[in-house]
Structure 1
Amino acid sequence: MDTLQGIHGRTGRVALASYVGSAIEYYDFFIYGTAAALVFPVVFFPHLSPLMATIASLGTFAAAFLSRPIGAAVFGHFGDRIGRKNALVFTLVIMGGSSVGVGLIPSADAIGVAAPLLLIAMRLLQGFAVGGEWAGAALMSAEQAPQGRRGYFCMFTQLGLGTALVLANLIFLGVHSAFGNAESPFLQWGWRIPFLLSAVLLAVALYIRLHIEESTVFTESADEGPSGVPLAEAVRNQGREVVLAAGAVIAMFMLAFQAGTYFPNYAATHLHYNEDLILLVGVLGGVCSIGFVAAAATLSDTYGRRRVVGFGSVLALPWTLVLFPLVQSGDPVRYGVAIIGTYAIIGIMMGPLAAFIPEIFATRYRYTGAGVSYNIGGIIGGALPPVLSPVLLASEGSWAITAMMTGLTALSLVSILLLSETAGRSLNIFEAGSPCGPRLPLVGLRG
């Protein structure tokens, strides 16, 4: 009964809006990552060697992460001062418009060096918008969810990754199958279709987002009067938490963008796997991620956020030791196991995050604190590994990639262990250290 009322009521509408916005965010990133791995080296960097074209293409993918913390600070500032909803409308429009813009850029053969420069510009705009999207969507769900079911309702924000992965790979799979091999019109204009379809998703998400109400927690905190600069307050009052929250998400980002970008590129260029196989594995990985995100988010209401996220990190640590050897094996089945298994672990790690990260920060700078920490972790875990991996492979060998992934996962695990449990905590916290209200009992947790 509670679930039905939530779905049809205000909380359900917010959860739906967060889900759709998150799905578009990850859809835009995954179609770009897929294109960067399979298409952009040829379309935008045709005069470079295969290795340099791959590095340049993945470098444009990483460029968005550089502007994400800036977007997190800017949209976090306005989201903490004028409201979550207004900031989220702007992030959605900029994000979707940038993706459509990528689909309209002529190739390097047509306009020369202007093509990759325009690509980078669109990518930086996309990253700027995405920097404010996740935190705002997570906060809207977290601040309006019932306290004892916050993990469940915040789950919908996190389901966006798996949904986007399935959607992006299915669309690319359909387009690629329709246009045939690499010499076909697919490389000329077919790859643009997934980007142009962002306009349809944008229109749907914008309609939904314009019809939700502002967070009541934010409205109540606004009555306390104007605060200082949110970024400065977050760093001054909860700098330790900003650093640890950033560290906690590094491994999740690293696994997601290695599996979604570098490994598909490696499978296509080094193992010469058929693109349809690579895309189909991505679809199955997305489906797997959806299931594990839902389970992990829901269980975090009972067993705690830190425990569930930490469990995922513990699983990820030995997995990183065998992940690249499985990909390198030359066996398509083992490649499928590697990618799908990775998305299962990603699902466990990311499921509780939309509740966990907002619960860490005080209301007056929650948007900024959550957004900046999440996106700093994104730079370290999401931007650097896909770009560094081909360099490490060429200079040091595959062991260096494995060492990098294992080291980043260990860093996340330590950060998670140093954070406090947040499940059951009230979000009506105007300042760090203010009373959190009664905590709900959590099965399996002590103290």
Structure 2
Amino acid sequence: MSGLLDRLQQCNYILEMLAACLLFALPLKKRHRPWLRFGAGALAALVVSMTVGGVSSTGVAEAGIAYLAQLIVVVLPIWLSCDVSVEDAVYGTICAYAMQHFSSSLYILLCLGTGAGHDIWRLLDPATLGYYLLAYVPPYFLIYRLCARPLGRGGSYRASLFRAGGITVLVLPVALFLSLAAKLSGGGGGAFLVCQVYAMLCSAYVLWVQVSQSREVQLQAELKVQQALWEKEKEQYQLSRATIEVINRKCHDLKHQLAALRHCSEPQREESLREIEQAALIYDAVVQTGNEVLDTVLTEKSLVCEHRNIQWTCMADGRGLAGMNPVDLYALVGNALDNAIESVQQLQDPAKRVIGVTLFRRDGLSVLRVENYCETPPLFRDGLPVTTKQDRAVHGFGMKSMRQTAEKYGGSLSVQVEDHVFVLCVVLPVQPPRQEGAADFAVS
């Protein structure tokens, strides 16, 4: 009878753990058919729980091994059903264990405080069942709202091996082994009660620390993004200065060439006129697309290309993007062109230092294509190229930001490499232009 009771209590424990794991899995990004996968992992956990049996008739070491075996296998439901790393699955499971342990200790304290038994058979008594529901339902709900949801914001816990290992070291030695030793020592007395209170406080503290650390990590990530944006603005300022220097140099050359024309012979005058005509080609960079914001960014980037000896071709109808927020449009096109410029300026062959920009309307859609040569095709992850820069926490967010901008307006972004040509394509629904009568296309 004792063995059967022990196994039923262990089965009850694993069900409590599975309920806690389910709550910590809810905020995470799911795999295909998550409920089926979670059910398969839960079934495996139940089988292991019934196999290893209970702990009341065994020593502390054997009981600890039995608990660890169940704790390890209960990682499966989260890992199988959620699209997260092993570290995230372990981290969520340990947090779930802290939740279950808090409620378990609270239930024991409620039962001992009222003189009721706390084994599984006592749940048939309405009063004991009430204590059980009071100890589990409100705490599970509150911990889910206060801990699980904030920790899983964004679809993952972003737990590193160090972080997952750290919470494991914090929870298991205190909340598992010390509490288990107190239970096996007799299940009563002042030391047992103190252990339960200590286990509750420890579990609550660990969960609170995790939420605090998560907020700190989020603030640090936001700070990195802000620093990256500041660096981007600084780079933009430097590019603008370089652009102005190009214009000033051209104007200076034109002034001297015009002055020299007054004293030149006819053959020399023709040669000087050709040079002036060539120098004036820079002003072809001032494109007219029917969209003021697009005109600005395309003109600016074309002047950058002129400064860096990059060939530039552009054919754009910007009227279909007139309804976009100016900041979104500037960032979207500017990021695409910055990436292309950064890529081709590293090429040694002048014939390959070419960027082609095409923007046209078709079937109610505006299609933006930016093409440039790339010698080494990049690695892709989630349909986007992986940044080759060392600090991936700062770099690499530009392409993701562009995709989010496209999706914000009901569009899409795709990237592919065709015969060493990197092709970025953004498709957006056409929106009514703010200005009428502009030219359909501008070529430069």
Q: When the two structures are superposed, what TM-score results if normalisation uses the length of structure 1?
A: 0.31
Higher relative contact order (Cα pairs below 8 Å, separated by 6+ residues)? 1
More helix by share: 1
Bigger CA radius of gyration? 2
